[in-house]
């Protein structure tokens, strides 16, 4: 194992464990029918207070702070510009798809978002390579367990947000459903969210970390 890989593993270990714990807590909460505000069981599960999406800016800032204090070099102005470009990419593609009359719940739209997500990840990796690699590794550690939970939920028809189809989506079953609403979005769109949103907060934290010695 290279020195860089070892440092990365140590940096993401605790965040990955915390993220897994939140994923399991959310699953239990949904299965037990706990508060809908905390454990939203509708498709997508948006807005639930217990969820791993909220951890991305927190750990993104943590990673950026730690890298900056360790002397990881990055031109933060350039990095910020590239991250902002990546941030607007998916909304812009969605807007253009809507203007072109492409149905929102179609395979074409999904393909557009997947392509945009991959491009956003690549831009994020280029913005600040050290931070991008850490966020990418953390994203995999966070999202692969979700993909596995979704497989079990879909096959078991658990009635959680992990196995509910989005409104208007074509009917699917079994492994096809898992691939389309689980594997694809978790490992593309949510990875882009992790790299880009985490990157923005990481850059902000790095800027603060770099100013502290001067202020002192």
DSSP string, 120-164: HHHHHHHHSHHHHHHHHHHHHHHHHHHHHHHHHHHHHT--STTTP
Q: What is the mean pLDDT of the chain?
A: 90
The answer to whether residue 31 scores a pLDDT higher than 70 is yes
15-19, 38-42, 175-179, 190-194: least confidently modelled range: 38-42
Structural domains of the chain, count = 1
CB neighbour class for 17 (10 Å; exposed up to 12, middle 13-18, buried from 19): exposed
Residue 1: pLDDT band by 50, 70, 90 thresholds? low
How is residue 195 written in tokens? Answer: 């790299």
**Is residue 206 within 8 Å of 68, Cβ to Cβ?**
yes
Boundaries of domain holding 154: 3-215
**Is residue 8 within 8 Å of 133, Cβ to Cβ?**
yes
* Stated pTM of the model: 0.91
Q: Which of 210, 214, 174 is nearest to 70 (CA)?
A: 210
- Taking the mean position of all CA atoms in its chain, how far away is CA 189? 7
Instruction: Provide the phi-psi class of 32: left if phi over 0, else alpha when psi is between -120 and 50, else beta.
Output: alpha
CB neighbour class for 49 (10 Å; exposed up to 12, middle 13-18, buried from 19): exposed
Percent of the chain exceeding pLDDT 70 equals: 96
């Amino acid at each position: 194992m290279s020195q860089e890989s070892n440092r990365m593993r140590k940096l993401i270990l605790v965040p990955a464990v915390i993220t897994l714990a939140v994923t399991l807590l959310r699953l239990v909460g949904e299965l037990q029918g706990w508060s809908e505000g905390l454990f939203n069981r509708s498709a997508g599960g948006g807005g639930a207070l217990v969820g791993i999406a909220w951890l991305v800016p927190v750990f993104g800032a943590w990673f950026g702070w730690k890298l900056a204090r360790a002397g990881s070099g990055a031109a933060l102005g350039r990095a910020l510009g590239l991250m902002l470009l990546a941030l607007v990419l998916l909304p812009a593609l969605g807007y253009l798809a809507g203007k072109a009359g492409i149905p929102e719940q179609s395979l074409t739209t999904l393909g557009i978002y997947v392509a945009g997500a991959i491009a956003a990840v690549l831009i994020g990796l280029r913005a600040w390579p050290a931070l991008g690699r850490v966020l990418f590794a953390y994203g995999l550690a966070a999202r692969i367990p979700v993909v596995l939970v979704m497989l079990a939920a879909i096959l078991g028809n658990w009635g959680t947000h992990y196995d509910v189809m989005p409104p208007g989506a074509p009917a699917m079953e079994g492994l096809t459903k898992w691939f389309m609403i689980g594997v694809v979005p978790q490992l593309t769109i949510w990875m882009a969210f992790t790299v880009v949103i985490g990157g923005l907060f990481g850059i902000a934290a790095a800027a603060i970390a770099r100013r502290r010695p001067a202020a002192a």
